[in-house]
Chains A and B, each alone.
Chain A
Amino acid sequence: DVKVTQSSRYLVKRTGEKVFLECVQDMDHENMFWYRQDPGLGLRLIYFSYDVKMKEKGDIPEGYSVSREKKERFSLILESASTNQTSMYLCASSLGVSAGGASNSPLHFGNGTRLTVT
């Protein structure tokens, strides 16, 4: 089974702090994603990456950046945390075309990091 691990389950940070959310997957997946989940808004895509050192903006990238230095790890960075970034953050991974799998492959999610910015 694919395992996607998010390093923290709960995190409390202060406004203005730099925050790192870490995600690791163990199935050699090409693609990795960061979403945030808020009540009534569903899952919104922040950033995604389909290869090491590559990144693409999602629908709400403002205030965030990402890092993909190794294939298995995808980090989400809040340069200066703000209260409106209080949310549940979900990391996911999927096979990519270059891995020999179909380009249509489902996402596998971690259990999320609930971040509170005070």
Chain B
Amino acid sequence: GESVGLHLPTLSVQEGDNSIINCAYSNSASDYFIWYKQESGKGPQFIIDIRSNMDKRQGQRVTVLLNKTVKHLSLQIAATQPGDSAVYFCAEKRECDKIIFGKGTRLHILP
């Protein structure tokens, strides 16, 4: 069946290095993708989004890349900081504004 998923459940990165979190999606009709960050005890928080007519979008320290050919989405975090420790979810918009989430990747920042 169709799904939004992540390649790795846990990612450990040295503080100051760049982090790359990957996501695969299978619904070729999806036209909008979002990355969320969830810290312990809180609801998911919006980080950055991208529409299917783009292949790259940059925010503050974050970049999202979209490769529609292979249905792949990635989130790059530059100069990772301790406050970036969280679970990261990708999500896609399907019909009728239905937003479907992946299972999440936990990002650990090593001192």
Contacts and interface: CB of A to CB of B under 8 A. Distances in A.
Given A42-B101, A106-B34, A50 B43 contact: no
Interface string A31-45: 101010000111111
Interface in A97-118: 97, 103-104, 106-112
Chain A: number of interface residues, binned into ranges: 20 to 34
B43 A90 contact: yes
Nearest to B31: A104
A106 B43 contact: no
Main SS of chain B's interface residues? strand
B41 to A, nearest CB: 7
Contacts of B14: none
B36 to A, nearest CB: 8
A61 interface: no
Contact of A112 (B32, B43, B101): B43
B97 A94 contact: yes
A109 B43 contact: yes
A69 interface: no
Given A48-B98, A58-B98, A104-B31, A111 B43 contact: yes
Interface string A53-66: 00010110000000
Contacts of B99: 33, 45, 92, 94, 107
Given A43-B44, A109-B45, A112-B42, 9 more contacts: A33-B99, A42-B103, A43-B89, A48-B98, A50-B97, A104-B32, A104-B93, A106-B49, A107-B46
Interface of B: 31-32, 34, 36, 41-46, 49, 51, 89, 91, 93, 96-104
Interface of A: 4, 31, 33, 35, 40-45, 48, 50, 56, 58-59, 90, 92, 94, 96-97, 103-104, 106-112
